[in-house]
Structure 1
Amino acid sequence: MQRSAPRLSRILACAAVPVMLVATGCSSDSGGGAGAGSAQDKASASPSASATPSPTPTVEPAKFAKLPEACKAITEKTTASLVPKAKNKKGTAAASTDLTSRGGCAWNGLDDKGVKGSQYRWLDVSFYRYESDPSLGSGQERARENLAKELAKVQATPGAKKLKTAPATGIGDEATSVAYQVRKTDEDFVYASIVARTGNVLVLLSYNGAGYAGAATPTDKAIMDGAVKAAREAVTAVAAANK
């Protein structure tokens, strides 16, 4: 089939110009212009762009990388004053498979004064460290969340009576004290618990006592003052372990 004269003239004219012009201005016979080429390029590029993985979300780094040695976190002078006749003056360490994440220590003993009765005391401290994790939040946020859970556990102590909860000032970033009594072995045990957070570390401290064989029951104030003193030392030990 013969080409029409006008169409043949256009083909010959294009053949006479430089290659660059043919590519841009004389391709109209194919039905596509420069705009069409750009749209096709964008369409072919879009799948690879959408396949690019999203950046990993970032979280605040954990403040503390270490925990103190639990049995050395409270000074011997303080433990001796709070538990005068401790079975183990250096404390008994809690079992732990990961000392970078959790640790604890306890002291207990009976101060027997013969016919004047006996005084029993128990002191324990626990540390929990939380790492920052993009899927779980920063170590600080995780410690804050678990502080609320641990506080709720203390407040739900079975048999607790005369329970009082109050802020504990001057202990870490935030702290709460819980005072209560529990009747056991026919004696009234007086308890003081401190739930505190310093950075990404939780410090849980409990101190309790009772009088036996006619000895006076320790006062709420004496037990709470002892718990606060020990808790402050434990929180300070966290910072010292990370210097």
Structure 2
Amino acid sequence: MQRRAQRDHRDQRDPRAKRLSRLLVCAAAVPVMLVAAGCSSDSGSGDDKDKGADKAAASKSASPSPTVQAAAYAKLPEPCKVLSEKTLEDLVPKGADSGKEGTSADTATRGSCSWSSLDNNGVKGSQFRWLNVSLLRFESDVTRGEGDKLARDHYMKQLQDAQTSDGAKSVKTEPLTGTGDEAANVRYDLKKKEGTFKQNTVVARVENVVVTVDYNGAGLAGDKTPDADDLAKAAQKAAKEAVAAVTEANGARAGGTSSSSPSASKGTSGSSSDDSSDDSSTGASKRPSKTGSKS
């Protein structure tokens, strides 16, 4: 009887023990499942990040690089050869062969040449003439803009400088036609101890090149002052020839602008892409003294 009672007691305990065992097994399995799910979730998150980075990199590589239209003119003529022999004989009759080229660190972007003439008539007085031609070419630059726009900024600055020259009297600015894309002549009187100098500064822009012609004359030692209109016409003639020399040097039609400006993008920044408001950074030669060697 006692054995039977013990058997019955065990039979009553076994179902509870079996249920408890199953619960413990299930409870132990839950952390494993959670860990597995967590790993699976982390793995998916990392894949998404990688995919996002790949998409961002692909989008960045697909974005076009900044571009700017290339400048029309790529070179300059020799500054001492931009004027014809006939023009030099008319403007500086005693110094047509005296052309002196200015120093330049980059002759492809800037250059200048000057001539002086003194017709000495002894006690009857002398006639002095001085002529200077400066050329400045601007490259297109992705950070600063197109060459012709940079040239126009410098063109306006040159005109302003001429109009505000120290000691200038009776300043007059005249727009010119038929000389590049735009041009103007600034004329004024400049009184010096030697006499009254008649000054002309012609500034012209053709595409991405600025041409500046300085021409002055004076009657010295009592000689008469030269006619201002004659000097102005002579300066304008020289400017027109210099502009034509620039276009011809670049294979364009003389006296006009380039008929076909290159449209290819260009991101160079040569020395003439220098700052158009600062001569040291634009590569521009500072305009020489308006009275040449006479002061």
Q: What TM-score range do you get, normalising by the shorter chain?
A: 0.7 to 0.9
Select the residue among 65, 83, 99 that pairs with 1:56: 65
Aligned-partner residue type, residue 55 of structure 2: A
**1:115-194 maps to which residues of 2 (within 5 A)?**
115-194=123-202
SS of 2:235's equivalent in the other structure is helix
Aligned residues of 1:101 and 1:130 also touching (Cα < 8 A): yes
- In the alignment, the residues of structure 2 paired with residue 165 and residue 50 of structure 1 have an alpha-carbon distance, to the nearest angstrom, of 57
Partner of 1:9: none
Partner of 1:104: 112
- Listed one character per residue, the Cα deviations across residues 66-119 of structure 1 (whole Å, up to 9, x for unaligned) are 100000001111011111111x61511001111001000000021112343210
Q: CA RMSD in A?
A: 2.2
SS of 1:145's equivalent in the other structure is helix
**1:37-52 maps to which residues of 2 (within 5 A)?**
44-51=50-57, 52=60
Select the residue among 230, 253, 263 that pairs with 1:222: 230
- Listed one character per residue, the Cα deviations across residues 9-54 of structure 1 (whole Å, up to 9, x for unaligned) are xxxxxxxxxxxxxxxxxxxxx8xxxxxx9x9987654333334154
- In the alignment, the residues of structure 1 paired with residue 159 and residue 51 of structure 2 have an alpha-carbon distance, to the nearest angstrom, of 55
For structure 2, which runs of at least 5 residues remain unmatched after alignment? Answer: 1-21, 24-36, 38-43, 252-295
Q: Deviation above 4 Å: which 4+ runs of structure 1? A: 39-44
Aligned residues of 1:196 and 1:204 also touching (Cα < 8 A): yes
SS of 1:148's equivalent in the other structure is helix
- In the alignment, the residues of structure 1 paired with residue 191 and residue 65 of structure 2 have an alpha-carbon distance, to the nearest angstrom, of 53
Aligned residues of 1:164 and 1:178 also touching (Cα < 8 A): yes
SS of 2:165's equivalent in the other structure is coil
Q: Does 1:233 align with 2:241?
A: yes
Select the residue among 82, 92, 101 that pairs with 1:73: 82
Aligned-partner residue type, residue 215 of structure 1: D
- In the alignment, the residues of structure 2 paired with residue 45 and residue 182 of structure 1 have an alpha-carbon distance, to the nearest angstrom, of 74
- In the alignment, the residues of structure 2 paired with residue 157 and residue 165 of structure 1 have an alpha-carbon distance, to the nearest angstrom, of 13
Structure that is richer in strand per residue: 1
TM-score (ref. length: structure 1): 0.80
Aligned-partner residue type, residue 47 of structure 1: A
Aligned residues of 1:162 and 1:180 also touching (Cα < 8 A): yes
SS of 2:226's equivalent in the other structure is coil
- In the alignment, the residues of structure 2 paired with residue 71 and residue 90 of structure 1 have an alpha-carbon distance, to the nearest angstrom, of 10
Aligned-partner residue type, residue 121 of structure 2: K
- Listed one character per residue, the Cα deviations across residues 124-173 of structure 1 (whole Å, up to 9, x for unaligned) are 00000111111111111110111111111111110000001121111100
- In the alignment, the residues of structure 1 paired with residue 236 and residue 194 of structure 2 have an alpha-carbon distance, to the nearest angstrom, of 27
TM-score (ref. length: structure 2): 0.66
Partner of 1:93: 101
For structure 1, which runs of at least 5 residues remain unmatched after alignment? Answer: 3-29, 31-36
